[in-house]
Amino acid sequence: MTHDLVIRNGFIADGTGTPGYEADIAIDDGLISDIGKIPGKGREEIDAKGQLVTPGFVDVHTHYDGQVTWGDALTPSSIHGVTTAVMGNCGVGFAPCKPEDHDRLIRLMEGVEDIPFPVLSTGLPWDWESFPEYLDSLSDKSFDIDFAAQLPHAALRVHVMGERGANREDATDAEIAEMGKLAKDAVMAGALGFSTSRTLNHRTSDGQPTPTLTASEAELTGIANALKEAGRGVLQFVSDFDDPKKEAAMLRRIVETSGRPLSVSLAQSDLAPEGWKVLLGAIETAVEDGLPMRAQVCGRPVGILLGLDLTMNPFSAHPSYRTIKDKPLSEQVAALRDPAFRTQLLSEEPQTDNPFAKVMLRSFGKMFTLDAVPDYEPKADRTVEAIAQARGVSCEEVALDILLADDGQGMLYLPFLNYAQGSLEPSYEMLKSFATIPGLSDGGAHVGMICDGSFPTTMLTHWTRDRTRGERFPVEWIVKRQTADTAHWMGLHDRGVLAPGYRADLNIIDYDNLTLHRPEILRDLPAGGRRLMQRASGYTATIVAGQVIYRDGSPTGARPGRLVRGAQAAPAVSKIAAE
């Protein structure tokens, strides 16, 4: 018989974690129809001899809520082998929303996820008010990859409570009931779940804490119980965990009461380098007790990129730099190369009350160079401080010289989570836990500060092949972690595995040569907005629903991706395989 597509002779890591094997894969009507020695021909064939073939990666933590309304490519995620992205995390998003609250939600997204107000105000069409209407506005559009949405708590709270909700006042019983009703409506319409934030790190662009910061346990339980009534939907939380035992106990009670799966962000903090162990231990105990709970973890530091053309750099709060910060990059570079201006700048101290700018932007002992092929587990001799000591100059001089490289395109890398002790051993321990799933890439967000949508590529290159400072994982195990494990946690049981009947979402990877490149700056957002982009070489092909969307790192223009509405059932054995 003739198939739509046949992939020949690839090394198959099928998403189950079992040892890989060499085989062909046949694809028909957007599904995998057979795996083995395929006698039939394909209308198109790809020779994958010597290459790794995996299911498409499923990224459970992205923020494409705005990007899907104005674009049709979910980059950077799709560049890194992601074939399904889940957005609406951290309690921020744009539905439900009354017209008078448009700017409020934009300011929240601007502050929390560093997506500029002009980009969002220009790009968002606002052809919805309710969450089901938001999904309807996306349902007829085509994209490079599939995506699914979660209901954001901040939007829901403001929609129901108005100014009281934005000001973090306690919800009444009636308001909790209304939020629960709308949450049930949302998951019935196709939301994968509900997300919320309980961290002071999440603020509006004018400095106000997120509306959900102090939401009561009664409010959270009421919404979770609404998902229980619907019989569907996951819960996603992010929290400061100032009292990890108390907070973990509350999350456990919510799961015990509602029965709904709950995941929570987990990373190592410089302020409490061992604190993550307390939370992970509590979640592991809950899982051992049979509760559906997971920690979302990431395989490299969450790090800020600093540059002259980015949101921040080590001189952002210096008086002299403020006089040129809004000038074009070429004019900034010219000023910073002027000996008199340089001398004045280097003599100054930051003038700010912002604790991050005062402390982190002066943390030259934690600030690293970023080479053409980034090292995300760098040694201490790569810090600005170490380089300055070796050269016998100030840290500020070294930092400025790095920023001025490549005509002002130089970048510094400042890890602020998962690198408190200068290694990724905590990440290793988190990744190998049975109570975690990979997440936290924030694809589509932090467009001028962070570029972590490339996490899936790092998972392969660093953790299975390149790591020299500790243990690695088998490639089949890492593939399983970001395919079947993530897909099935979200209720997407039709993908994440290479087997007959499953979605034909695949990657063909030149594993030996897979390489992650240094981030770059693009200006392709609405209103000419800037964003960070990171590319990789070595993805021979990325396939969504049987169509090749990327070939050798270049987009084909195919747009088979769609909004995924709700959980998806596991496939029955395909008719072709049965025959």
| pLDDT surpasses 60 at 574 | no
231 φ/ψ angles, rounded to the nearest 5 degrees: 75, 25
Q: How far apart, in whole angstroms, are the C-alpha atoms of residue 69 and residue 294?
A: 30
Print the SS3 string covering 489-504.
Answer: HCCECCCCCCCCCCEC
- If you search the block for the tokens 């061992």, which residue do you land on? 274
Residue 1: band (very low, low, confident or very high) from pLDDT cuts 50, 70, 90: confident
Q: In sequence order, which residues have a C-beta less than 8 Å from that of residue 322 and are 6 or more positions away? A: 316
pLDDT at 356 over 90: no
Instruction: Write down how long the chain is.
Output: 579
Q: How far apart are CA 311 and CA 57, in angstroms?
A: 29
The model's confidence at residue 359, banded by pLDDT at 50, 70 and 90, is confident
- 3 state SS of 545: coil
**What's the pTM value of the predicted model, to 2 decimals?**
0.96
Task: Give the other-Cβ count within 10 Å of 555's Cβ.
Answer: 16
DSSP track, 112-152: HH---HHHHHHH-----SSHHHHHHHHHT--BSSEEE--EE
Cβ atoms of 518 and 373 closer than 8 Å: yes
Helical residues (DSSP H) of 231-305, grouped into ranges: 244-258, 275-288
Other CB atoms within 10 Å distance of the CB of residue 573: 10
Which residues are 537's β-sheet partners? 515
**pLDDT at site 241:** 87
Bridge partner list, 22: 11
d(CA 565, CA 437): 22
In 3D space, the residue among 353, 91, 96 whose CA is nearest the CA of residue 214 turns out to be 91
- In the beta sheet, which residues pair with residue 368? 383, 413
User: Do the beta carbons of residue 479 and residue 336 sit within 8 Å?
Assistant: no
Domains, the chain, ordered by start: 87-138+152-299+421-447+475-489 (3.20.20.140), 304-417 (no CATH)
- Cα torsion 137, 138, 142, 143: sign: positive
Tell me the mean pLDDT in the region 253-273: 96
**DSSP string spanning 359-406?**
HGGG-GGG-EE--SS--SS--GGGBHHHHHHHHTS-HHHHHHHHHHHH
Could you identify the residue written with the tokens 């979402």? 505
**Which region among 95-99, 204-208, 380-384, 450-454 has the lowest average model confidence (pLDDT)?**
204-208
DSSP label at 304?
E
Q: How far is C-alpha 406 from the geometric centre of its chain's CA atoms?
A: 28
Euclidean distance between the first and final Cα of the chain, in Å? Answer: 12
Give the three-state DSSP class for 86.
strand
- For range 201-222, the mean pLDDT: 95
- Residue 173's Cβ-count burial label (10 Å; 0-12, 13-18, 19+) is exposed
**3-class secondary structure, 182:** helix
pLDDT digits (tens, 9 = 90+) for 114-146: 999 999 999 999 999 999 999 999 999 999 999
* E strand or H helix that includes residue 407: helix 395-408
Res 360: pLDDT: 84
Residue 281 tokens, joined: 């231990």
**pLDDT at residue 354, rounded to an integer:** 77
Q: Is the pLDDT of residue 579 over 50?
A: no
Residue 532 reports pLDDT greater than 60: yes
Which of the pair, 113 or 256, is modelled with greater confidence?
A: 256
Q: Which of the four pLDDT bands, split at 50, 70 and 90, describes residue 573?
A: low
Q: How far apart are CA 358 and CA 352, in angstroms?
A: 7
Task: Decide: helix, strand or coil at residue 185.
Answer: helix
- State what percent of residues in the chain have pLDDT above 90: 94
Q: Which residues pair with 193 in a beta bridge?
A: 234
Spatial CA neighbour of 139 closest among 562, 544, 568 = 562
Give the pLDDT band (50/70/90) at residue 575.
very low
Residues 194, 173: Cα–Cα separation, whole Å: 19
